[in-house]
Structure 1
Amino acid sequence: MRVLAITKIFPNSLEPLSSPFNRQQFVELAKLCELTVVEAIPYVPLAHRTRMPERAAKLSALPKRERVAGIDTHYLRQLYLPRVGTSVALPLYLASLASQPTLRRLVRESDVILGTWAYPDGCAATVMARAFGKPCAVKVHGSDVNIVAKMASARAYMRRVLPRANAMISVARPLSRLLEDMGVRAGAIHLVRNGVDTSLFRPRDRAACRDELGIAREGALIVFCGRIEPQKGVGELLTAFERVRAARPDARLALLGDGVSRELVQRVRAAQLSLPEGTLIAPGPRPLREVATWVGACDVFTLPSHNEGTPNVVLEALASGRPVVGSDVGGIPDCLADPRSGLLVPARDASALANGLVDALNRSWDAEAIVHTGPGSWEESARALFNVLEQVAGEA
């Protein structure tokens, strides 16, 4: 079976750490079928006359095609007009696809189209598939339905186009309900949960992990991993951490990732010079193998986001046997439905977050019990995804 995936959430040689969840699932999917990826990257016309956005300028250096994680990956130069917004994203995406003969050929030669990310990618994949008489499935991840679908122009397109896909693939039950609200038939929605790399994310000796990272064995450690940005609750987390320190003077906080709030983190670090060294750790974005070591080193993992889909960092923490304190938004409650897995707190509430972190640090948690509440492997996730695609191709 020849599967063509159309998406903007996939790594490339210039952004190798991007979208690790999609990369890991696709690597396993490629073992079951002939998989090709079309990755959309922003293209600004007349860039020599306009100020090109930083990311678009960076990605303009990519070739037309390369192999990423062993998968044949073609780059779609997606027409992008800064400051215009979502209202023209789908027409521009379709125009970009239609104007590139190699990509049209890939659509013609495929047995099934897989769009990942609802808008504009999933909508564009559905329109292209129908134009070429191909079956199509669209996988939604979280923010594409929780946030993007709330924008009036995007929602109008999504309500009209997504119900015409042969199948919708959701990673969490709350997302499935939101798809039904947009007019997608319940019978067309398939729940395929994300997996984790169980060779990396597994219960490990906490002291050994700390030795590997070069941090002190003693004291409590809270770990956050994600974009260092306001919508991830970084501001509330830094405020909460001050209160956590009042109750647990031995507590430390590690923030893994990069983003616009890095400057805020640095200011807080500067203000805390009187604290013991290593109290607030900000090592930047780390490769997945090192992330697994940080998770293994922690006592509590936290993700206090304002909005979320089904965050893989939470699944990875559970697979590592570490309790999670997460905000009660998106797919996080679905991940933490079992009380053995962690604690939910209201989003945007630093006081509640502080209380939840202190509570989690003071409890005794059973690592093996936490693992049993967590996800399966990426092999299992990819097999479930393949089964849906095979069903869609067979019915077509």
Structure 2
Amino acid sequence: MRSNNLLVIANNFPNEDNSYVAGIFVKEQIKYLKNYFQTVYVISPVPYGMESLRKTTYRDYQYENVKVFFPKYFNVLFFYTRLRSIWVYFEIKAMLEVIEREGIDFDLIHAHFTWPSGAVAVKLKKYFNVPLIITEHTSNTFQRSIDKKDKMFINTWKMCDAIMRVRQKDIFLFEYIGITKNKVFHIPNGFNHSSFFLYDTFECRKRLNLPKNKKIILNVGNLYSEVKGHKYLIEAINIIVKNRKDILCVVVGSGKLESNLRGQIANLELEDHIKLVGSKPHGDISLWINACDVFVLPSLNEGNPTVMFECLGCGKPFIGTKVGGIPEVIVSNDYGLLVEPGNAQDLAEKIEIALNKNWDEGNILNYAKQYRWENITSQMVTIYDELCSRNSNLKSA
């Protein structure tokens, strides 16, 4: 596919220095996809005012054969649920201006998330007569769209050429709403093994000023929503410290819930055992993972969390809840442990088991190889090739 160009549409994409990391998994994926294309174009529309809200600045940038654009467009929250056609109209208008101004030519489109990126991409597919692939990442939003038989989601899926779903067990649900099964593919998330690999634990602790004589439990995730389950992690630590004092739980991330979580920690007098260290650059997350003894993600809902693959790529055991695609990856107690969501007692027990277990790092690393981005993207490119070949035949017929 080296002679072809790919257009990626994502309503969240990191800025040039990755100081804003939402959508970082798309950028990591593109690091490997770009090797299959002459040029990869990324268009990530940004509503006016969003830069102030996100406390970041978006400027177009380029690296190697990847060109990233952040066109601004008018939007209000009301359009998100009530007047979605107006939302699509303004996004399309902004994107077409970029495509025309930059002379962007592409052979296929890959949109991340059905709404709004997929809905916008359907219009571009019609306009440019190229294949469209949509990756659906969400958990709650996806299930809600299925349960309510949301016309916008269903029509978008029917009009695209292929759907990539990060969770395998959901594929049969597409059939339930009339989407033919042969256009739906299970493609999980992955990790960049050049960034996430096994490194000396104590060297990482030294660099991060973390204690050498503690068992370290790590959590990485934003503090914007209770769906990440941080309060249950704090409750679990409170249970554990009644029996042992040699643990330190480190939470990497920031958000509006930070003050509430600090209050919970203070009320339980856990300041010596739980540290909220704020957000860290994505390039440093590997250090934090390698510094820990066990990684914990107590989410109430998930799709296919990238940090799970990054954890395994560093040879660390992963404790996660039985939600989303997590049970499809943590298929053995050799790689981690599964917990009932919202159950602090179960979480505490599994953390204790993990801290006392002698984990085989080599076994975890070997298992993680299948989730390296180069392996995941090669599966994606096979689908791309088939769609482009089919589209070329239709045009020449």
Partners of 1:255 and 1:301 lie apart in 2 by 10
Change (3 A) 1:68 1:259: farther
CA positional deviation for 1:319: 1.4
Match of 1:6 in 2: 9
SS in 2 for 1:359: helix
Partners of 2:128 and 2:251 lie apart in 1 by 46
Partners of 1:387 and 1:91 lie apart in 2 by 35
SS in 1 for 2:218: strand
Partners of 2:86 and 2:271 lie apart in 1 by 54
Amino acid at match of 2:32: E
Partners of 2:86 and 2:176 lie apart in 1 by 24
Check conservation: 1:169, 1:190, Cα contact below 8 A: yes
Amino acid at match of 2:62: R
Q: Of 34, 41, 49, which aligns to 1:30?
A: 34
Q: Of 319, 341, 351, which aligns to 1:347?
A: 341
SS in 2 for 1:128: helix
Check conservation: 2:199, 2:314, Cα contact below 8 A: yes
Partners of 2:93 and 2:246 lie apart in 1 by 59
Q: Matches of residues 238-253 of structure 1 in structure 2 within 5 Å?
A: 238-253=234-249
Check conservation: 1:90, 1:119, Cα contact below 8 A: no
SS in 2 for 1:16: coil
Match of 1:48 in 2: none
Q: Matches of residues 212-361 of structure 1 in structure 2 within 5 Å?
A: 212-228=207-223, 229-271=225-267, 276=272, 279-361=273-355
Match of 2:394 in 1: none
Q: Matches of residues 1-396 of structure 1 in structure 2 within 5 Å?
A: 1-13=4-16, 15-33=19-37, 34-43=39-48, 55-56=52-53, 58=55, 62-63=58-59, 65-67=60-62, 71-98=66-93, 101-105=96-100, 109-143=105-139, 145-146=141-142, 149=145, 152=148, 155-228=150-223, 229-271=225-267, 276=272, 279-374=273-368, 375-396=370-391
Single out whichever of 120-129 and 144-153 deviates more from structure 2.
Answer: 144-153
The number of residues matched between the two structures is 383
Change (3 A) 1:54 1:28: closer
**Percentage identity across aligned positions?**
23
Single out whichever of 322-331 and 263-272 deviates more from structure 2.
Answer: 263-272
CA positional deviation for 1:314: 0.8
Deviation per residue, 1:84-140 (Å, 9 max, x gap): 542323541233313554345379721111111111111221232023322111112
Change (3 A) 1:382 1:100: closer
Deviation per residue, 1:308-343 (Å, 9 max, x gap): 010011111111111111111111111211221111
Single out whichever of 76-85 and 237-246 deviates more from structure 2.
Answer: 76-85
TM-score between both structures, scaled by the size of structure 2:
0.88
SS in 2 for 1:212: helix
SS in 2 for 1:138: strand
SS in 2 for 1:307: coil
Check conservation: 2:201, 2:291, Cα contact below 8 A: yes
Partners of 2:25 and 2:371 lie apart in 1 by 13
Amino acid at match of 2:347: L
SS in 2 for 1:247: coil
Deviation per residue, 1:65-102 (Å, 9 max, x gap): 33368621122334321345423235412333135543
Unaligned regions of 5+ residues in structure 1, if any? 44-51
CA positional deviation for 1:300: 1.1
TM-score between both structures, scaled by the size of structure 1:
0.88
Partners of 2:99 and 2:65 lie apart in 1 by 22
Check conservation: 2:51, 2:58, Cα contact below 8 A: no
SS in 2 for 1:30: helix
CA positional deviation for 1:303: 0.6
CA RMSD of aligned residues (A): 2.6
Partners of 1:54 and 1:263 lie apart in 2 by 23
Change (3 A) 1:293 1:58: closer
Partners of 2:295 and 2:62 lie apart in 1 by 34
Partners of 2:239 and 2:164 lie apart in 1 by 41
Check conservation: 1:146, 1:308, Cα contact below 8 A: no
CA positional deviation for 1:37: 0.6
Unaligned regions of 5+ residues in structure 2, if any? 392-397
CA positional deviation for 1:358: 1.4
Partners of 1:55 and 1:328 lie apart in 2 by 36
Change (3 A) 1:182 1:145: farther
SS in 2 for 1:131: helix
Amino acid at match of 1:149: S
Partners of 1:57 and 1:367 lie apart in 2 by 38
